[in-house]
Structure 1
Amino acid sequence: MTKRDAVFPDGRQALYEINRYSAAIRSGDLLFVSGQVGSREDGSPEPDFAQQVRRAFDNLDAVLKAAGCTFEDVVDVTTFHTDPANQFETVSAIRQDVIGAAPYPNWTAVGVTWLAGFDFEIKVIARIPSVG
């Protein structure tokens, strides 16, 4: 059996080690990215919701880059929201800036009651571009 090929963005591996999980796992030509939240450098939540969502996308971008991917390589997205009805417009506007033009990845949004002090989380599956 092959060992997990863990991927970590620069400067944030300690946060993952504290919580005992990997930022992403590379398996063949797929990248499975753990849920990314809008945490500051110390791991604490960004208090402003729009900035928290922006940071979550920035943190996701750092994980994608660490694996040689971009948002164009993302094929599947799942987002978690503590108040979906009131958060939708903010998330949608930021998502449009980050994801770009069609064709869009598939997307599933889930309402939840708890995200460890955060209000938004995003996880993705991406196809790793072939080399050569």
Structure 2
Amino acid sequence: MQISLDNPASAPQPLSPYYSQVARVEYADGGALLFLSGQIAEGATLAEQSRGVFETIDALLKAHGASLADVINIRTYLTDVTRLDEYGAVRREFLTGTPPTSMTFEVPRLFRPEAQVEVEVVAAVPAAG
């Protein structure tokens, strides 16, 4: 097993120098698990922020040879859980296959005061053919 940490140049850079956006755990068979740090995005509405979050997650996964179809777990942090349907509509635009395992939390505040949603995921990358 090999572990590496990464901030891919092809994806938006982290908001702080104190964390890595992707932890990649490689296995002997060539498969890997990707653990993504929580992602937030700019935007005036929850839908705009959610869309930006999933676009960033998509870019981070692609930088490691994965896609949104490889997501096996998702954790969502919302500042207002009564707006879960609004977030969920955007999420379904990006996660179109079998839904991954999931947890959603309501939190009073996120890293940036204007952030309404933060999402972290785990993806399983199969060994190359």
- Please give the TM-score of this superposition, normalised by the length of structure 2: 0.85
| CA apart distance, 1:90 | 1.0
- Partner SS, residue 49 of structure 2: helix
- Partner SS, residue 21 of structure 1: coil
Identify the structure with the greater helix proportion.
1
**Mapping of residues 107-126 of structure 1, within 5 Å:** 107-115=102-110, 116-117=112-113, 118-126=115-123
Aligned-partner residue type, residue 24 of structure 1: V
Aligned-partner residue type, residue 106 of structure 2: G
Identity %: 31
- Partner SS, residue 46 of structure 1: coil
What's the counterpart of residue 51 of structure 1? Answer: 48
State whether structure 2 residue 12 is matched by structure 1 residue 12: yes
Partners of 2:52 and 2:100 lie apart in 1 by 20
State whether structure 2 residue 37 is matched by structure 1 residue 37: no
Partners of 1:59 and 1:104 lie apart in 2 by 19
| Alignment check: 8 A CA contact 2:12 2:56 kept | no
Partners of 1:66 and 1:7 lie apart in 2 by 10
Partners of 1:74 and 1:100 lie apart in 2 by 11
| CA apart distance, 1:19 | 3.2
| Structure 2: unaligned runs, 5 residues or longer | 27-31
- Partner SS, residue 77 of structure 1: strand
Change (3 A) 1:11 1:78: closer
- Partner SS, residue 125 of structure 1: strand
Question: How many positions carry a matched residue from both structures?
Answer: 121
| Alignment check: 8 A CA contact 2:25 2:34 kept | yes
Give me the CA root mean square deviation. 1.8
**Mapping of residues 24-103 of structure 1, within 5 Å:** 24-28=22-26, 29-38=32-41, 45-85=42-82, 87-101=83-97, 103=98
Partners of 1:78 and 1:113 lie apart in 2 by 16
| Structure 1: unaligned runs, 5 residues or longer | 39-44
Q: Provide, for residues 20-72 of structure 1, a one-character-per-residue CA deviation record: whole Å limited to 9, x for no partner.
A: 1111100121110000111xxxxxx3222211110011111111111111111
**Runs of 4+ more than 6 Å apart:** none
